[in-house]
Structure 1
Amino acid sequence: MNSVTKARYDGLADWYDDRFVTGAEPHQPGLLELLGEGSGPCLDIGCGTGRNFETIRASGREVVGLDYSSDQLRLARTRTDGPLMVGDAAALPFPDESFDTVMVMWVSTDVDDFGAVVREAARVLRPGGVFVEYGVHPCFNGPHVVYNEDGGRTAHPTYRQSGWHEPAPWWGEDGIRRQIGMSHVPLADYLNAFLTAGLTVQRFIEPEGPPVPHSLAVRATKPA
């Protein structure tokens, strides 16, 4: 979502798609329920290679995808005929109140300022519109976390360090952290981002998955 992120994701779209999208379940756990039924265009911020396009369509909405990586969008184009565009999540190329639904997907670890992304999402959302954010769990998934063989997690004292982290020995050799790098948003900053943007939070979920959740999602609305 910035010049650093673009350089890291461009050239890795095929690797990313093979590892995280191809063969995955059609709907990420809980996402369709958070969206609920709707209609009209849904802006998918950080759409990547289009993993969630089927879910958007299943909810009754139409796909509008935005990502900073043109390489990611190259593969996304194979999954939709809807509009796709390269754009900065912290400076969206849309007028105020353009969409009834906005999704922010898995971007908190890829941007310099997660709060700015949420504020932009709220800006382009129409009053009464639905906002869904889905991504890394600030407590149990991030540059400060070690994945243990028994399914547990170990958190390092770097948890309170917001922003980009230096590579660490526990990152592994072939995962997304080592390939892309990783920024971190502590839990309080993550939650306050929605309040600062003026959104009304309706529900948080820790989607189904491993015993220690690796993702956290929220449904909110923009006050009418």
Structure 2
Amino acid sequence: MRARYDGLAQWYDERFVADAPPHQPGLLDLLGRGSGPCLDIGCGTGRNFDSIRASGRSVVGLDFSIDQLGRARMRTDGPLFHGDAAALPFADGSFDTAITLWTSTDVDDFGAVLREAARVLRPGGVFVTYGVHPCFNGPHVVYEEDGRRTVHPTYRETGWHTDMPWWAQDGIRRRIGMSHLTLADYLNAVITSGLTVEHFEEPAGQDIPHALALRARKS
């Protein structure tokens, strides 16, 4: 199966990653200090490698897109793996830390990704996920020019969306599509992963939250 970002990696990297700040808001606090390898599930072009290193850890990246991994190689000399986030090619208890950022909208089964993250963590291991806020960011939401959001009654239409009339013609979603979870679906996926949540965060930046993040631990 062709990865959704194959053929778009250079465009995506130059538009969203190359000139971005080194750390996404709140990510370093969620990670905390640590050591050893950190698995970046769905690492894309390496947007968060600097944050992993700044936390004291080393980078291990995994993505389903070969093209994305080619760009990620420019940001690390650590190991990079081609693989499915819902079927990780690692043994149980392989890592002390795992992260996955902005992947809930790009995978078919976010719950499976969380369960796999829990599986490859050692007891006591830290997990951070950070991405689209299900309530205020998704195929049901229109970003207005004055900063307001218009929320359509399609919020409960979960699953994969290939087109919405308000999506920008040159944006990532019109090129790739978007998977949507309700907030309840998102939280239930976390609960059924077996991870113990320590902290939720709506990262700073915009008055209406754009992202939802959490830190959890493997019991």
Shared fold (TM-score, shorter chain, > 0.5): yes
CA distance in 2, matches of 1:30, 1:46: 19
TM-score where L is the length of structure 2: 0.98
Please tell me whether residue 129 in structure 1 is matched to residue 129 in structure 2: no
Q: Which residue matches 1:12?
A: 8
| Structure 1 residue 121, shift from structure 2 partner | 0.4
Deviation, structure 1 residue 157: 1.3
**Alignment equivalent of 1:60, drawn from 56, 60, 79:** 56
Counterpart in the other structure of 1:46: 42
Residues in 2 aligned to 1:20 and 1:213: alpha-carbon distance in whole angstroms: 19
- The residue number in structure 2 matching 1:94 is 90
For residue 211 of structure 1, what is the amino acid of its counterpart? D
Amino acid at match of 1:37: R
- In the TM superposition, 1:202-221 aligns within 5 A as 202-221=198-217
The percent of aligned pairs where both chains have the same amino acid is 74
Q: Which residue of 2 aligns with 1:118?
A: 114
Q: What is the match of residue 71 of structure 2?
A: 75
Runs of 4+ in 1 over 3 A off after TM superposition: none
Query: SS of 1:170's equivalent?
Result: coil
CA distance in 2, matches of 1:87, 1:166: 23
- SS class of match (1:16): helix
Alignment partner, residue 153 of structure 2: 157
Whole-Å Cα distance in 1 between the matches of residues 85 and 130 of structure 2? 15
Residue 168 (structure 1) shift: 1.2
Deviation per residue, 1:177-222 (Å, 9 max, x gap): 1111111011011111111011110111111111111111000001
Q: Please say if 1:147 is aligned against 2:143.
A: yes
Amino acid at match of 1:45: I
Structure 2 residues without counterparts, runs of 5 or longer? none
After TM superposition, give the deviation of residue 166 of structure 1 in Å. Answer: 3.6
The residue identity in structure 2 corresponding to 1:126 is: R
CA distance in 1, matches of 2:123, 2:190: 15
Matched, 1:106 2:102: yes
Q: What amino acid sits opposite 1:74 in the alignment?
A: G
Q: Deviations over 1:80-117 (max 9, x none)?
A: 00000110000000011100000011110111111010
Contact 2:162 2:176 in 1 (8 A): no
Alignment length (residue pairs)? 219
TM-score (norm 1): 0.96
Give the equivalent residue in structure 2 for 1:24. 20
Three-state SS of the structure 2 residue aligned to 1:90 is coil
C-alpha distance in structure 1 between counterparts of 2:213 and 2:194, whole Å: 17
Task: Let me know the Cα RMSD of the aligned residues.
Answer: 0.9
In the alignment, which residue of structure 2 is the partner of 1:197?
A: 193
State how far apart, in whole Å, the 1-side matches of 2:177 and 2:116 are: 24
Task: Determine the structure 2 residue equivalent to 1:178.
Answer: 174
The residue type paired with residue 71 of structure 1 is: D
- 5+ residue gaps, structure 1, are none
SS of structure 2 residue aligned to 1:65: strand
SS at match of 2:11: helix
Letter in structure 2 aligned against 1:198: G
